[in-house]
A and B are shown apart, each in its own frame.
Chain A
């Protein structure tokens, strides 16, 4: 019944790390019965695309004054702290 939450996934070039992260997020949340749509973008594009997202997950620094929660993490690449980040994402999507 709920429309899927929209997550903006950012990295430097929007071709490599954001691909892995977006897939990682989608699969992890699907396992928990949560459906999301992800959109990949470059860090430089985040400001203009933030308005359309409920959460931003990024592997590279982005502005934090966008009115959308930002989670900066390498967990989907390195595996370190991945469970904790997934919980963080779920929390952030709750409103």
Chain B
């Protein structure tokens, strides 16, 4: 059912089972792929890292796995897109609603939004994924892109 996400996730921008140590490394890695694929400007990665440090996007999901949804201002985006990373070990992000708190994260969606209030379906689908505790657990266990797409489409 998560069809919009499945369509927007470029294979080159999906990094599974990674060994990053910091939230900056994660954003840099996925953001770099989005830049190579022509979806964002060169300024996107630093802007997303900066934004994450003042307006963090860590989301405690209530199960074993937490997520983060880094993104930044639309001026750094060329075309709407979605990048994703799953992490072998937890990486600390700060809690969106309580920025002094750390959230240990293993699932990251990097959002490239080019208009305010647009891409609402994509955003609602991402929220839908995050609200599905079993799906989130399954996503971090996957090791290849086609398994990922099948899982999302069947969700």
Which residues of A pack against B, CB within 8 Å? 12-17, 19-20, 23-24, 40, 43, 58-61, 72-74, 76-80
Contact = CB atoms under 8 A, between A and B. Distances in A.
Interface in B39-72: 51, 54-55, 57, 59-62, 69, 71-72
Contacts of B98: 61
A58 B71 CA distance: 17
Contacts of A20: 120, 123-124, 127
Given A16-B71, A40-B117, A77 B111 contact: no
Interface of B: 51, 54-55, 57, 59-62, 69, 71-74, 96-99, 111, 113, 115-117, 120, 123-124, 127, 130-131
Contacts of A60: 55, 96-97, 99
Given A60-B55, A78-B62, A16 B96 contact: no
24 contacts: A12-B96, A13-B51, A13-B55, A15-B71, A15-B113, A15-B115, A16-B113, A17-B123, A20-B123, A20-B127, A23-B120, A43-B55, A60-B55, A60-B97, A61-B97, A61-B98, A74-B60, A76-B127, A77-B130, A77-B131, A78-B60, A78-B61, A78-B127, A80-B61
Given A17-B96, A78-B60, 8 more contacts: A15-B113, A15-B115, A15-B116, A60-B55, A74-B60, A77-B131, A79-B130, A79-B131
Contact of B124 (A12, A15, A23, A58): A23
Contact of A19 (B73, B117, B130, B131): B117
Scoring A15, A58, A73, A74 by chain B CB atoms within 10 A of each residue's CB, the highest score goes to A15
A74 B51 contact: no
Contacts of A59: 96-97
Contacts of A16: 69, 71, 111, 113, 123
A13 B123 contact: no
Scoring B55, B62, B113 by chain A CB atoms within 10 A of each residue's CB, the highest score goes to B55
Contacts of B73: 13, 15
Contacts of A73: 97
A43 to B, nearest CB: 7
A24 B124 CA distance: 9
The 3 A-B pairs with the shortest beta carbon distances in the complex, nearest first, are A12-B55, A79-B131, A15-B116
